[in-house]
Structure 1
Amino acid sequence: MVIALAGQPNVGKSTVFNLLTGLNQHVGNWAGKTIDLKSGGFMVGDTSITLVDLPGTYSLTANSEEERIARDFILKEHPDLAIVVVDAANLERSLYLLAEVLLLPVPVILALNMMDVAGQEGIQVEPGVLESALGIPVAPMSAAHNQGIDALLAVIREYLDGKMPFNPKKPSISDEHKGILAEIVEQINGYTPEGYPTKWVALKLLEGDEELAGLIEKNLPAANWQKVAALLYEHEDAVLDIAGERYEWIARMVRAAVVEPRITRGSLTSRLDQVLTHPVFGSLILALVLGGVFFVTYAIGSPLQSWLGRGVEALTEWLRVQMANSPDWLSHLITDGVLGGVGLVLTFLPILAIFYIALGLLEDTGYMARIAYLTDRWMHRLGLHGKSFLPLLLGFGCNVPAVFGTRIIESRRSRLLTILLIPLIPCTARMAVITILTPIFFPVHSALVAWGLVAGNLVILMLLGLALHSLILKNEHVAFIMELPLYHVPNMKTIGIYVWQNLLSFLQKAGTVILGGSLVIWGLSYFPTGEVMTSYLSYAGRFLEPIGLWMGLPWPVLLAILTSVVAKENTIATLGILYGDVVKVLPTLLTASSALALLAFQMLFIPCLGTIAAIHEETKSLMWTIVSAVMMLSLSIGAGVLIYKVGLLLFG
């Protein structure tokens, strides 16, 4: 049995998904689309159920890839059941998606989530009354507190037993346009795509759905399409009528089942947002929040990383003793190639875990949306808006999905500019390298230095964006509308699954890309003589030596950064192979100026191969891919040289 899980953004859909499926999840690409679908399994009695988490979307009109995937999955994959998650504290908004899903050929359960948040805001929702008004099952939930999942499972069990009541009271359109809808149905009957209900297609044509209009125009005989096109042109105001009738339908449901408080809605959220979204105070708090994230990461993660590092060292020495009679190259392969590379990278798992926990908390409380709001005023100066910021924000996790995420941006020029700026966002892989290297050089001020490096990247992003604005966007500006969800208590299970999935992805990378890169680097550094300084790798290093001298960096350090093109974590792995105990060796090789130059060079260097491939895929242009790589290389060298020279002037 397959169930589709749908919902608008910020209604707790991911929390419901995690409660039902736990760790039994996987992510896969569907139907050649660029947006991945997450699915998971669970049992109801003896029945095995696959739950498919559809992309969060406000409607089912094909204005974005998310909306197309959500509706096409229901229409083409024919799930047995759909669960629509809504926010009980904001039914007026979140019931709109339900109004559209009810028009599709699938039974529907309404998961009335965030009942606790509604109660905190003084909103009383009567699930039984709402169920009667809608004619479909309603399961009240507070997923963030693990409450209500049994009620949802009970309704699913009723469906399996053939006892689920489902007599939906669907929204209609006004009498003025019912005749027009019937005429369009008559003209397109028999020519709609397979699986698409004729009346639903006709309604979408009246709503101005351009994708369906293109499909129908191709399928219809010319005479039929001329009649349909004429009707659509004469009644282009029908979209307002349809939307108006849906909102009136929503209003009837809300009047029947919801008692609004006498006090102002969202009072707590409003009071908090007076400060947290303030241009000055909000920005200061944002800087403090980000600084606090890095401080906690170092304060807790660094001691754990050191403990794991000592464990890897002990294991390495033990293996050397055990393999004393083995061929020299095999002993070095295991101890230097594998443990010196992957082993060292694995030691910063605690740091990554803390960082992911922080990101999960910011997202689950609703504060991440405030970060988007605060930064929009800066984005707008670049001619961009919130839709451009969201992929940039995603870049803090990984630049690859951030590049793919730019597909939500309608303007091609805005999309291109956003893609060029994404590599300037420090992803978790880059931050992981920085969190390892910074305490080595600056043990007392590591958090401050890391904060400054991130701030420096963002300043460069702004300056570069301003420079590219007139060149790419031709001073084009676009409007920005976004929703700020109510603040709520985070769900620790959701955050735990988020952290686990990201750490698992990192471990998979460590076992494949990083291991492969480490072995290649070890081989180049060992052969043909068994010594790094006379190895194949040394030839490439000496070729780069003049560039390193500009920044006060020895060529092995440059080589380590060069290997980060495969995966950013390879910088640490390569340094471990070339220098052994980097914690002891690196501070003796580099001055404070050259260490800062190294960190800046690492932060701005060419992105990983995955990001480069994603840029080529999205721009469909080898030229823009090369421009992106050359731009980042130039910025990294320029910043490294400038910091080193200024450091020499200031500190000698």
Structure 2
Amino acid sequence: MAVSEPARSGAAEEPATAEIALLGQPNVGKSTVFNTLTGLRQHIGNWPGKTVGRKEGWIELEGRQQRLVDLPGTYSLTAGSEEERIVRDYLQHQQPEVVVFLADAVALERSLYLLSEVLALHKRVVVGLNRMDVARRHGIHVDPQALAQALGLPVVTLIARDATGITELLASVEALRREPQRCQPSPPQVRARSAAALERIAERIRPAAPAPYDPRWLAQKLLEGDPQVRDWAEEWLSPAEWEALDHELHHHEEAVLDILGARCDWVQSVVQAAVERPRAGQASWTDRLDRVATHSVGGPALLLALLAGVLGLTFQIALPLQGWLDATVVQPAAAGVEALLAPAPGWLSGLVVDGLITGVGTVLTFLPILAIFFTLMGLLEDSGYLARVALLLDRFMHAVGLHGKSALPLTLGLGCNVVSVVGTRIIESRRERLLTILLAPLVPCSARLAVLAVLAPIFFGDWALPVTLGLIGLNLAVLGGLGLLLHRTAFRGESSAFLMELPLYQRPHLRTTMYHVYAHLKEFVRKAGTVIVVAAAAIWALSAFPGPGIENSALAQLGHGLAPLGDLMGLDWRLIAALLSSFVAKEVAISTLGILYGLGEEAQGLAATLPSVVDPASGLAFLAVTMLFIPCMATVAAIRQETGGWRWPAVSVALLLGVSVLSGIAVYQGALLLGLGGGA
């Protein structure tokens, strides 16, 4: 098996003859299988004219490079979402040579229902039965030979996280390409009561149906009430033909029950032939754990305890490593380069040493914080617990008038607000989607948490953990309060019900977790090497020119111009400048502080400098405003992309600017009343 991508140019390149498609439901392990087969680790584009991501890579079959396309995860092929339309249009028009269908051994019924729809469009299918290890641990036994016989398809057992079965999966794909007759599926048919109606409708539409659409499949979808197929039929047929067809469809409205019922009967017969489950009444580990994890009182308490544990471990382990990196890497590098550039003009030395090395180096020193945080969060996600977090947040979402699905993209915001904004695509209601987008930047993303993890110990020492938890609580309180206010004013409406299937708990897999950690750190370093480098250089230039001295710089003038507002929050012009720079990326605030407070100091890091110039009340206000401040540049761009204009990004920036400033004033004035001021 080869994992390299073929050359893009050159006469020697032999093009692939056809594509292999990778298909399955969300969270069934498709990305893991795709990454193992191809070595690619990222989305490389969007489907034409769509906002849904498209991934493709290359595998070697029988000595030839073949394109592997990772289709969007979907639960069905009824055109109710963009993902569903993309998958079925691809299967009909592209006609991949083989479809690799990933099924979940733990929830086989759900996977088989999707497979029943796939077999109506494509016959050459290899089934990869994933998560066999998890099924065994929960007493679920799936007989792959019996399953293959019942389906009429090749079946390969997989444990994708360990790459177990991947070689066998490729061999089965190769064998099916050589011998297509290995696939003899018998997909479900409509129940007898509606069979005649199905055939009549197929005959009505057959003369007008263009290739590659099968008239019988179109007839079935018309009886199901598929909106896209109805639009097609109305376009293809004459008005009189469509009127007659529509009349017959109304006459057979009950046929949808016969179609869906036949699929369920087929699924049940396959499961009875191949699956043995634990006796009824046996409580699994998942059941026992969920009695606490999803309890109305125990669930939130467990969530808070785990969050405190994650942050506590991050502080205890990562902070010493951060100090070591600063002392052994950043400061020696700055001193060495400064000596090397001694003959050069002062502005060049200042740009490289104080702007780039000090600014970017300060940011890179909290790589240990991010590594530990992402590792702990990745373990929780891989165990299945974060799905319970979404369920717990669903109750909170309904309290502020949001659809339960809003809990899922908002939970993703713990990693990145950009992902949270893009994730709102799963929400059907435009009202609820816009409201979720406006609230998404209030979720404390990893970048904000990283800034908090760096500065809270500097400002508050041993009190860093309770202060951090309090500020995260402030974020959630503001999110809830603002959501409730918007729901009752600008976004009036009813929220709909939320249904989700909780995955079984499983032992976290270190390899999977480490991949996620690597992906997050790689993205962070990429930003440090591009956005943060440019921002650090720009901030240094603003702090150095026109001069002389930083007090006469352009940045000082901007900060001094906002000083009256800053005074209400206890923020001097340097802290205001750091807040403004965080629009580029939240991490840039750290490099800005390193530049502004590091100028003129002798090898003093932020930990030594900030406590002497910023009192606790001001530090607390700065952190509160940071956690609530306007979205970063990338999030604003994502909001524009998802809403189709600049109106809602402008609303988001204005809304959060007002919320953060008011909160900063309240926090600072409250801290003064508690006697936290006057430290500097």
TM-score (norm 2): 0.92
The answer for the alignment partner of 2:307 in structure 1 is 290
User: Residues 570-581 of structure 1: matches in 2 within 5 Å?
Assistant: 570-580=588-598, 581=605
Q: In structure 1, give the amino acid aligned to 2:23.
A: A
The answer for the alignment partner of 1:349 in structure 2 is 367
1:175 matched to 2:192? The reply is yes
Q: In structure 2, give the amino acid aligned to 1:53.
A: D
The answer for the alignment partner of 1:597 in structure 2 is 621
Structure 1 residues 283 and 339: alpha-carbon distance in aligned structure 2, compared to 1, 3 A threshold: same
1:647 matched to 2:674? The reply is no
Q: How much has 1:32 moved relative to structure 2?
A: 2.8
**Secondary structure class of the residue paired with 2:56:** strand
Q: How much has 1:587 moved relative to structure 2?
A: 1.1
Is the contact made by 2:191 and 2:261 (CA closer than 8 Å) also made in structure 1? no
Which of 87-96 and 310-319 deviates more?
87-96
**Secondary structure class of the residue paired with 2:96:** coil
The answer for the alignment partner of 2:428 in structure 1 is 410
CA–CA distance in 2 between the matches of 1:80 and 1:168? 16
Q: 1:278-297, CA deviations, whole angstroms, 9 ceiling, x for partnerless residues? A: 11111101111111111122
Structure 1 residues 92 and 295: alpha-carbon distance in aligned structure 2, compared to 1, 3 A threshold: same
CA–CA distance in 2 between the matches of 1:163 and 1:613? 47
The answer for the alignment partner of 2:519 in structure 1 is 501
The answer for the alignment partner of 1:636 in structure 2 is 660
Q: 1:208-253, CA deviations, whole angstroms, 9 ceiling, x for partnerless residues? A: 2112322332333222222232222222222222111101000110
CA–CA distance in 1 between the matches of 2:537 and 2:209? 56
The answer for the alignment partner of 2:64 in structure 1 is 47
Q: How much has 1:26 moved relative to structure 2?
A: 4.4
The answer for the alignment partner of 1:606 in structure 2 is 630
Q: How much has 1:621 moved relative to structure 2?
A: 5.2
**Secondary structure class of the residue paired with 1:89:** coil
The answer for the alignment partner of 1:60 in structure 2 is 77
Is the contact made by 1:266 and 1:486 (CA closer than 8 Å) also made in structure 2? no
**Secondary structure class of the residue paired with 2:546:** coil
The answer for the alignment partner of 1:236 in structure 2 is 253
**Secondary structure class of the residue paired with 2:164:** coil
User: Residues 533-572 of structure 1: matches in 2 within 5 Å?
Assistant: 533-572=551-590
Q: How much has 1:192 moved relative to structure 2?
A: 4.3
2:332 to 299, 314, 324: 314
**Secondary structure class of the residue paired with 1:75:** helix
The answer for the alignment partner of 2:238 in structure 1 is 221
Is the contact made by 2:540 and 2:595 (CA closer than 8 Å) also made in structure 1? yes
Q: How much has 1:528 moved relative to structure 2?
A: 1.9
Is the contact made by 1:206 and 1:238 (CA closer than 8 Å) also made in structure 2? yes
CA–CA distance in 1 between the matches of 2:420 and 2:210? 33
Is the contact made by 2:156 and 2:165 (CA closer than 8 Å) also made in structure 1? yes
Identity of aligned residues (%): 49
**Secondary structure class of the residue paired with 1:236:** coil
2:496 to 471, 478, 491: 478
Q: How much has 1:362 moved relative to structure 2?
A: 1.9
The answer for the alignment partner of 1:36 in structure 2 is 53
CA–CA distance in 2 between the matches of 1:291 and 1:197? 57
Q: 1:468-518, CA deviations, whole angstroms, 9 ceiling, x for partnerless residues? A: 112244241311111111111223222222222222222222222211222
The answer for the alignment partner of 2:476 in structure 1 is 458
CA–CA distance in 1 between the matches of 2:388 and 2:506? 13
CA–CA distance in 1 between the matches of 2:161 and 2:573? 52
**Secondary structure class of the residue paired with 2:253:** coil
Is the contact made by 1:10 and 1:485 (CA closer than 8 Å) also made in structure 2? no
Q: 1:522-542, CA deviations, whole angstroms, 9 ceiling, x for partnerless residues? A: 211112225221112211111
Is the contact made by 1:561 and 1:602 (CA closer than 8 Å) also made in structure 2? yes
Is the contact made by 2:193 and 2:258 (CA closer than 8 Å) also made in structure 1? no
Q: How much has 1:545 moved relative to structure 2?
A: 0.8
Which of 519-528 and 487-496 deviates more?
487-496
Is the contact made by 1:83 and 1:109 (CA closer than 8 Å) also made in structure 2? yes
User: Residues 57-96 of structure 1: matches in 2 within 5 Å?
Assistant: 57-96=74-113
Q: In structure 2, give the amino acid aligned to 1:250.
A: V
CA–CA distance in 2 between the matches of 1:353 and 1:143? 24
1:121 to 129, 138, 160: 138
Is the contact made by 1:23 and 1:497 (CA closer than 8 Å) also made in structure 2? no
CA–CA distance in 2 between the matches of 1:168 and 1:566? 54
Which of 559-568 and 157-166 deviates more?
157-166
Is the contact made by 1:434 and 1:450 (CA closer than 8 Å) also made in structure 2? yes
CA–CA distance in 2 between the matches of 1:650 and 1:5? 60
1:380 to 398, 422, 427: 398
Q: In structure 1, give the amino acid aligned to 2:259.
A: I
Structure 1 residues 530 and 243: alpha-carbon distance in aligned structure 2, compared to 1, 3 A threshold: farther
The answer for the alignment partner of 2:440 in structure 1 is 422
Which of 639-648 and 99-108 deviates more?
99-108
Any gaps of 5 or more consecutive residues in structure 1? none
The answer for the alignment partner of 1:187 in structure 2 is 204
User: Residues 505-524 of structure 1: matches in 2 within 5 Å?
Assistant: 505-524=523-542
Is the contact made by 1:139 and 1:148 (CA closer than 8 Å) also made in structure 2? yes
CA–CA distance in 1 between the matches of 2:98 and 2:541? 55
CA–CA distance in 1 between the matches of 2:199 and 2:181? 31
2:545 to 522, 527, 542: 527
Q: In structure 2, give the amino acid aligned to 1:629.
A: V
Is the contact made by 1:74 and 1:106 (CA closer than 8 Å) also made in structure 2? no
**Secondary structure class of the residue paired with 1:51:** strand
Is the contact made by 1:383 and 1:478 (CA closer than 8 Å) also made in structure 2? no
Q: In structure 1, give the amino acid aligned to 2:595.
A: I
Q: In structure 1, give the amino acid aligned to 2:263.
A: R
CA–CA distance in 2 between the matches of 1:318 and 1:194? 70
Q: In structure 2, give the amino acid aligned to 1:423.
A: P
Is the contact made by 2:78 and 2:226 (CA closer than 8 Å) also made in structure 1? yes
1:15 to 1, 10, 32: 32
TM-score (norm 1): 0.95
| RCO higher in structure (CA 8 A, sep ≥6) | 1
Q: How much has 1:70 moved relative to structure 2?
A: 2.5
Q: 1:275-317, CA deviations, whole angstroms, 9 ceiling, x for partnerless residues? A: 1111111110111111111112222222222222221111001
Which of 158-167 and 555-564 deviates more?
158-167
Q: 1:181-202, CA deviations, whole angstroms, 9 ceiling, x for partnerless residues? A: 2233233335446544333232
Q: How much has 1:22 moved relative to structure 2?
A: 4.0
Q: In structure 2, give the amino acid aligned to 1:453.
A: L
**Secondary structure class of the residue paired with 2:106:** helix
CA–CA distance in 2 between the matches of 1:165 and 1:597? 68
The answer for the alignment partner of 2:12 in structure 1 is none
The answer for the alignment partner of 1:152 in structure 2 is 169
Q: How much has 1:113 moved relative to structure 2?
A: 1.3
CA–CA distance in 2 between the matches of 1:190 and 1:290? 62
CA–CA distance in 1 between the matches of 2:154 and 2:336? 63
**Secondary structure class of the residue paired with 2:489:** helix
CA–CA distance in 2 between the matches of 1:195 and 1:446? 63
**Secondary structure class of the residue paired with 2:582:** helix
Q: CA RMSD in A?
A: 2.0
1:616 matched to 2:621? The reply is no
Is the contact made by 2:394 and 2:406 (CA closer than 8 Å) also made in structure 1? no
The answer for the alignment partner of 1:300 in structure 2 is 317
